[in-house]
Amino acid sequence: MEITKKKIGELGGSEVTAYTVKGKNGMTMTCLDYGCIITEFIVPDREGKLENIVLGFDNIEDYVEHSPYFGAVVGRIAGRIKEGRFTLDGKDYHMAKNNGENHLHGGERGLDKVIWNLETKIETDKAQLIFTYESPDGEEGYPGNVSLRTVYTITDQNELVIEYNGTTDKKTILNLTNHTYFNLSGNAKSTILEHTLQIDSDKFLELDSGLMPTGRLLDVEGTAFDFRNGRKVADGPASSHPQNILAGKGYDHPFVLNRKKQPAIKVSCEESGRTLEVETNQPAVVLYTSNQLEGDFLINGNVKAERYLALCLETQKHPDAINHPDFPSVVLDKGEEYYSYTKYSFKVE
Ligand code: G6D
């Protein structure tokens, strides 16, 4: 393993640095201390061809101007909070409504838009990028001084493990995820519509027109949401199911993981032979198929932004859980530790 770094620009008077980790079996990952953003992820296809399988930019300005959370850690609360408000121990909190009438991905300046401290650790067959950030009490309207740690572990077995730790000095809410957009065809040469996706999930969360969970869990049986035995992503945009249509003709839904088998999720690309397997300790995963990825800008240097160019697998607790007592709790109290684990394994078939 080897790690190199280089300054790629400045934001708000602070330097932004890119770190590149190179494994011995072809995997190379580059990320920024800004938002822990994964900007490039190179893995081999079945012929050994090394290509990038994530959406990103090669400059910081494009991230600021165009990025829909490409590659970023999002939070303090991933997903939406209805009307940007919640009550904790009888106190009402009101936060930015940065997505229509709702709060999304930690607000106007969420964790994807701050510069984290970064230390590196290297061993023979793995390397770690250890990001830390002290989120002050009241940041984006969230209570508590929260100490955050994100660790990316990259191995010579072409795996990426993402772990989050969080502690607080007073009761708060916390639910982080990574918002990387994957496209296993390589260099986004095709959309993900022909990718095959498998998710070990019997239920998904019904969304309202604002993409907020209604609280109802819907059965995947007999719908385009049934990924238990594998299904082409294209089935979503082609589906007449009201939830596929409501999401902008695709998926933007939390799936409740059965947690009976690992990997919980598998993505396959017949064209390249690449596969991605996901294991996690989280109870849910939001599948987003880039239904809203449109705009007049280039991604990865030469790819025009277009819908269905990639898919996100945002492992997390259920969105808006603070307003749904029957969802797994996102409350973190003083003396408790928040911990989240997700492993991405890249293989070929
Ligand atoms: C859209 O609804 C989707 C979100 O799920 C996604 O995270 C965002 O675009 C990037 O708002």
Report mean pLDDT in 10-residue bins for the chain, 349 residues. Answer: 95 96 93 98 97 97 97 98 98 97 98 98 94 98 98 96 98 98 97 98 97 98 98 98 98 96 96 98 98 95 96 98 98 98 98
- 111: helix, strand or coil: helix
**Domains present along the chain, CATH in parentheses:** 2-348 (2.70.98.10)
pTM above the 0.85 mark? Answer: yes
Query: Residue 231's CB: how many other CB atoms inside 10 A?
Result: 18
Closest ligand 1 atom to 74 CA: 7
Rounded CA Rg of the chain: 19
Distance CA 285, CA 252 (A): 10
What is the per-residue pLDDT for 8? 96
- Name residue 92's beta-bridge partners: 87
Please report, for residues 75, 95, 140, 224, 230, the alpha-carbon distance to residue 109 in angstroms, rounded to integers and kept in the order given. Answer: 10, 11, 7, 35, 37
Cβ-contact 154, 21 below 8 angstroms: yes
Strands (E), 64-158: 73-74, 80-81, 85-88, 91-94, 103-104, 117-122, 126-135, 146-155
- Tell which one of 80, 101, 249, 252 to mutate to probe ligand 1, the residue whose CB is within 8 A of the most ligand atoms: 252
Active site residue 314: yes
- Which helix (H) or strand (E) element contains residue 244? helix 242-246
Cβ-contact 127, 158 below 8 angstroms: no
- 146: helix, strand or coil: strand
Which one from 103, 179, 318, 324 is the annotated catalytic residue? 179
Active site residue 47: no
Q: Which protein residue's CA is at the shortest distance from atom 8 of ligand 1?
A: 68
What is the per-residue pLDDT for 95? 97
Query: Residue 40's CB: how many other CB atoms inside 10 A?
Result: 19
- 150: helix, strand or coil: strand
What is the per-residue pLDDT for 77? 98
Ligand 1 pocket, Cβ-based, cut-off 6 angstroms: 68-69, 99, 211, 252, 288, 292
Cβ-contact 236, 207 below 8 angstroms: no
- Whole-number Å distance, alpha carbon 208 to ligand 1 midpoint, is 14
Output helix, strand, coil percentages for the chain, rounded to the nearest 5. 10, 45, 45
Distance CA 39, CA 11 (A): 17
What is the per-residue pLDDT for 12? 92
Distance CA 300, CA 289 (A): 18
Placement of tokens 């596929």 in the chain: 244
Tokens representing residue 331 in the block? 């409350």
Pairing of strands 73-74, 91-94: unpaired
Q: Helix and strand tally (H, E) in the chain?
A: 3, 30
Which one from 140, 314, 318, 324 is the annotated catalytic residue? 314
